[in-house]
Amino acid sequence: MFRGLSGKRPVTEAQIKMQDGLIYWHSGEHCCNPRWENAYQGFEQPVEEKRKFRERFFRMGFDSLERSLNIVDLFCGRGNGLAVLQEMGFQNLSGVDLSPALLAKAPDRARRIVADCRDLRFEPQSVDVFVVQGGLHHLPELPTNLSLVLDQVAQSLVPGGLFCAVEPWDTPFLRAVHAVSFWKPARRLLPKFDAFATMVEEERDTYYSWLSSGSLIRAEVAKRFDVTLEQVAWGKWMFVGSKSIPRQ
C-alpha cells in the first residue's frame, strides 16, 4: 500500500490569501459561465454524484490508502468528490477550482483554493495524491495545457505519489449518449439529457478536442506516471499511476 512520504505542508502561510473561507491564487472572476454551471448542478443530484464518486474511489483503490495522506482534488467543482473522501475518513484534503461560486459549496474542512490548474503553487514534493474527475477536458489547448498541468502535478507529488484521473473518452457508448441527448424530444422530456447536452454545448471546443486526442493524452500521461490501473468503459477513461522515478 502507498503510505505517502510528505508530512510537508502543501500550502505555505505566504500562499494563503483568504476571503470568505476560500484561498485565492487566481481572481476566478471570468471563469464562470452561468448556463454551464446551472446545467452541471442540475445534471446529477449531490446524492447520485456522491454515490458515483464513492464507487470510483473504491475502484481506484482509495479504500486501502492511509487516511492521513495529503490529497488534492483538481477541477473539484462543487466538491462532492472531497465530501466523499471526507466521509471515507481522509483528513488532509484540498480542492482546486476556477469557480469561487462552485468551490464555496465544497466542504469547508478541506482547503478550498481558487486557482487555474495550469498555474498551481503547491510546494514541491508535498502532495501524496492528485485526483481529477471531469476536469482535464476543459483545458483549451492540447497538448500544451495538459503538459503544463501534468508537469506541475508531477513536481508537487512526493516520489511514488499517485495521479488519478477519470475523464470522458470516445467510445461507442458515449456516441450513443450524444445522439440521444441531442435529440430534441429527449431533451424536452428528460432534464438529465438536457443538462448533459447543455454542458456539451457550452464546453464544445475543449470537449471534442479532448475526445479526439486519446493517444496524445495517453502519451503525455505515460511520460510522467507508471500506470497501475487503466480502464476505458462506458465513455470514461480511468487512470491511476504513480510518479515515475527517473532511472540513474
User: DSSP for 149-204?
Assistant: HHHHHHHHEEEEEEEEEEEE---HHHHHHHHHHTSHHHHHH-HHHHHHHHHHHHTH
Q: Which of 25, 57, 62, 75 binds ligand SAM (CB under 6 A)?
A: 75
Rounded CA gap, 109 and 43, in Å? Answer: 25
The DSSP element (H or E) to which 231 belongs, if any, is strand 225-233
81 binds ligand SAM (CB under 6 A): yes
CA dihedral 156, 161, 166, 172 (to 10 degrees): 120
- What's the closest the beta carbon of residue 205 comes to ligand SAM, in angstroms? 13
- What's the closest the beta carbon of residue 227 comes to ligand SAM, in angstroms? 21
In angstroms, the Cα distances linking 5 to 56, 159, 162 are 24, 8, 12
57 binds ligand SAM (CB under 6 A): no
Q: Please, which residues bridge with residue 163 across strands?
A: 130, 241
Rounded CA gap, 81 and 178, in Å? Answer: 25
Q: Which of 6, 70, 94, 99 binds ligand SAM (CB under 6 A)?
A: 99
51 binds ligand SAM (CB under 6 A): no
Segment near ligand SAM (CB under 6 A); pick from 104-112, 129-137, 169-177, 186-194: 129-137
Q: Which of 92, 133, 152, 156 binds ligand SAM (CB under 6 A)?
A: 133
- What's the closest the beta carbon of residue 1 comes to ligand SAM, in angstroms? 25
135 binds ligand SAM (CB under 6 A): yes
DSSP count for the chain of H helices, then E strands: 10, 9
Q: Count of alpha carbons within 13 Å of 81, Cβ hemisphere only?
A: 28
Residue number with CB closer to ligand SAM (201 or 226): 201
Residue linked to cell 466542504:
107
102 binds ligand SAM (CB under 6 A): yes
The residue type at 64: S
Segment near ligand SAM (CB under 6 A); pick from 95-103, 105-113, 185-193, 207-215: 95-103
Segment near ligand SAM (CB under 6 A); pick from 55-63, 83-91, 96-104, 175-183: 96-104
- What's the closest the beta carbon of residue 179 comes to ligand SAM, in angstroms? 21
Binding site residues, ligand SAM, CB under 6 A: 31, 40, 75-77, 80-81, 96-99, 102, 116-118, 133-135, 138
